[in-house]
């Protein structure tokens, strides 16, 4: 039987936190699936901005069971495992199970982790004492985090488009600006990109701030302007936020802000890769279940040579995508607590993560489309459940930096840090020596071309490179 747990067992052998994974998987089968369907069917939640007295409350009315759905992952350790035990692999294995059943739900867990990690690395002792224990609760009341960088001008070019300004105020700052895409907008804490007053233009002038939802007197620290009405990912509530002299606490130093922002994004990119592979598996499993039961021309669909060949190809693609994504998890477990200046291992992690984010998301989107096609007309009917996979998959190549951004960032880390050399060294014990040599020559020749050609031709380089790296790591 194909299940996410069985697949993890097959790929990883000894599972990290095996008992928790088994319990979490069982919960999904008995309870989570139903809650997830309800939340998806209910559509966009309602924002009640004012109470009966007309006072601003910004309350989000989510479907019944939403909180149970979100909190189960925290109970099992989506966040506390990393912060308390350093068990990144356990957290990402839980994320794999979450995403198999509900890819959108992995976003709240991810952005909470991407908040807790910089808080634990860069927060002052007072901040950590005040907020971390709340994020690590295991009783179904864990505080959630969120990561808000993007503003209305666009998310790829944060240096040009982040207009939020942070003005010093005692030992804190006051942030004013508008955040256009705010996932997990119902969270109690957010890490927010803003420009300290007087800081230079561009990405180097940005810093990372911890912004609580409520001020110490219990009043709202920022305002939710509206909830986004999205194609899918309804298990994460995405909104727009107005920061109006909102209290924020600087994390780390303002000068290193851009690195902290990238660290946050890189954690989310690893999670996006793991979630994409889980969706890929789900699409193949759903397609297979249908193709075994549906008979055409006298035999089950799966026994027809053309269909059979497609299944073999997708299962191979799944294994390579998993190997690539899990390598970025392994490397993150090594380098996730590093601070700038980073080791070469961190640059290797970055290259593998850009390749993984790009490749797995593209594969997931294609697999979701193919899964619908295998179902024929039934694929477009909501009652078969696979149209949802397509709705969920479409965002995977976009958020956390789109596919163009991943290719461009992969190029940058090769050009500036020689990460391709580190990659080839890393693969030396896995790869066929002739292939390794061919890639060395290809990459070196590629990087000799004029800068504009290197950018323009990335689609001839990155997809085959990502696929090859995944296959080497099998
Ligand atoms: C459902 C959802 C939830 C989100 N949640 C959050 C969140 O919680 N926090 C947050 O900060 N952001 C969030 N985002 C924003 C997301 O990170 C951005 O959508 C993403 O970074 C791309 O930015 P953009 O949409 O503004 O596109 P743009 O930056 O305007 O880019 C448009 C297109 O141009 C491409 N492009 C950009 N630069 C180049 C280039 N140099 N060369 C070639 N192509 C290029 C992009 O890849 C993209 O295809 C969310 C987005 C969605 C859809």
Instruction: Give the residue whose CA is nearest to atom 36 of ligand 1.
Output: 404
Listed residues 82, 101, 135: the one ending a domain? 135
Compute the distance from residue 387 Cα to the ligand 1 centre, in Å: 24
Crossing angle of helices 125-135 and 106-122, in 10° steps, is 160
Q: By alpha-carbon position, which residue is closest to atom 35 of ligand 1?
A: 404
* Residue pair 142/135 in contact by the 8 Å Cβ criterion: yes
> What atom of ligand 1 comes closest to residue 403's alpha carbon?
47
- Is the per-residue pLDDT at 1 higher than 90? no
**What is the rounded average pLDDT of the residues 387-410?**
97
Within 6 Å (CB) of ligand 1, which residues are found?
Answer: 147-150, 154-156, 181-183, 230, 233, 238, 395, 398-402, 404-405, 408
CA quadruple 23, 332, 348, 159: dihedral, nearest 10: 120
- Report how far ligand 1's centroid is from the alpha carbon of 35 (Å): 29
- My answer on whether 456 and 340 are in the same domain is yes
- Start-to-end CA span in the chain (Å): 22
Residues 214 and 280 in one domain: no
Q: Length of the chain, please? A: 474
| Residue 360 sits in the same domain as residue 448 | yes
Atom of ligand 1 nearest to the CA of 156: 29
Please state the pTM of the whole predicted model.
0.98
Q: Are residues 250 and 264 in the same domain?
A: no
Which one of 238, 254, 270 terminates a domain?
Answer: 254
**172-183 and 238-250 as β-strands: parallel, antiparallel, unpaired?**
antiparallel
Matching residue, tokens 């996979």: 389
Atom of ligand 1 nearest to the CA of 404: 47
Query: What atom of ligand 1 comes closest to residue 111's alpha carbon?
Result: 8
CA of 157 to the centre of ligand 1 (A): 9
Per-residue pLDDT for 178 more than 90? yes
Q: Whose CA is nearest to atom 16 of ligand 1?
A: 399
Backbone φ and ψ for 86, nearest 5 degrees, come out as 65, 20
Q: Which two tokens stand for residue 48?
A: 């009640």
- Span 277-299, average pLDDT: 98
Q: Where in the sequence is the domain holding 194, given as residue range(s)? A: 147-254
State which of 153, 154, 155 you would mutate to test the pocket of ligand 1, scoring each by most atoms of that ligand within 8 A of its C-beta.
Answer: 155
Residue among 87, 195, 75 at smallest CA distance from 140: 75
Number of domains in the chain: 3
Q: What is the pLDDT of residues 211-226, one digit of tens each?
A: 999 999 999 999 999 9
In terms of domains, do 343 and 434 share one? yes
State percent of the chain over pLDDT 70.
100
Rg (CA), the chain: 22
From 111, 399, 400, the mutation candidate for ligand 1 (largest count of ligand atoms within 8 A of CB) is: 399
Residue 159 domain-assigned (yes or no) = yes
For the segment 342-367, what is each residue's pLDDT rounded down to a tens digit?
A: 999 999 999 999 999 999 999 999 99
């Amino acid at each position: 039987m194909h299940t996410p747990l069985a697949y993890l067992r097959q790929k990883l052998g000894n599972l990290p936190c095996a008992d928790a994974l088994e319990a979490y998987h069982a919960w999904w089968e008995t309870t989570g699936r139903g809650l997830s369907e309800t939340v998806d069917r209910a559509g966009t939640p309602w924002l009640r901005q004012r109470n009966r007295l007309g006072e601003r409350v910004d309350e989000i009315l989510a479907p019944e069971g939403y909180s149970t759905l979100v909190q189960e992952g925290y109970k099992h350790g989506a966040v506390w495992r990393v912060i308390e035990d350093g068990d990144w692999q356990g957290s990402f294995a839980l994320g794999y199970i979450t995403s198999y059943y509900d890819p959108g739900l992995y976003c709240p867990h991810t952005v909470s982790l991407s908040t807790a990690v910089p808080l634990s690395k860069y927060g002052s002792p007072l901040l950590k004492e005040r907020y971390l224990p709340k994020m690590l609760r295991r009783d179904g009341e864990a505080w959630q985090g969120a990561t808000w960088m993007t503003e209305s001008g666009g998310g790829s070019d944060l240096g040009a488009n982040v207009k939020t300004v942070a003005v010093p105020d005692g030992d804190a700052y006051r942030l004013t600006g508008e955040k256009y895409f705010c996932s997990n907008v119902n969270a109690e804490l957010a890490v927010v990109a803003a420009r300290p007053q007087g800081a230079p233009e561009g990405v180097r002038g940005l810093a990372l701030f911890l912004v609580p939802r409520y001020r110490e007197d219990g009043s709202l620290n920022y305002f939710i302007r509206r909830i986004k009405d999205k194609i899918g990912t309804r298990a994460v509530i995405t909104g727009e936020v107005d920061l109006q002299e909102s209290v924020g606490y600087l994390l780390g130093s303002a000068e290193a802000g851009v690195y902290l922002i990238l660290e946050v994004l890189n954690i989310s990119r690893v999670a996006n890769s793991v979630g994409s592979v889980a969706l890929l598996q789900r699409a193949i499993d759903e397609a297979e279940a249908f193709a075994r039961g549906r008979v055409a021309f006298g035999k089950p669909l799966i026994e027809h040579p053309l269909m059979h060949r497609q299944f073999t190809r997708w299962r191979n693609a799944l294994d390579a995508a998993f190997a690539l994504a899990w390598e970025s998890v392994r490397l993150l477990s090594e380098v996730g607590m590093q601070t700038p200046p980073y080791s070469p291992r961190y640059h290797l992690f970055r290259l593998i993560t850009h390749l993984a984010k790009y490749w797995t998301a593209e594969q997931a989107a294609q697999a979701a489309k193919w899964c619908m096609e295998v179902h024929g007309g039934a694929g477009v009917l909501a009652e078969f459940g696979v149209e949802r996979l397509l709705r969920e998959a479409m965002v995977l190549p976009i958020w956390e930096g789109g596919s163009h951004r991943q290719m461009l960032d992969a190029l940058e880390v090769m050009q500036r840090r020689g990460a391709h050399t580190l990659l080839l060294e890393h693969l030396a014990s896995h790869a066929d020596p002739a292939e390794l040599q061919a890639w060395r020559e290809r990459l070196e020749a590629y990087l000799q071309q004029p800068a504009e050609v290197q950018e323009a031709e990335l689609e001839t380089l990155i997809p085959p490179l990502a696929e090859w790296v995944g296959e080497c790591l099998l």
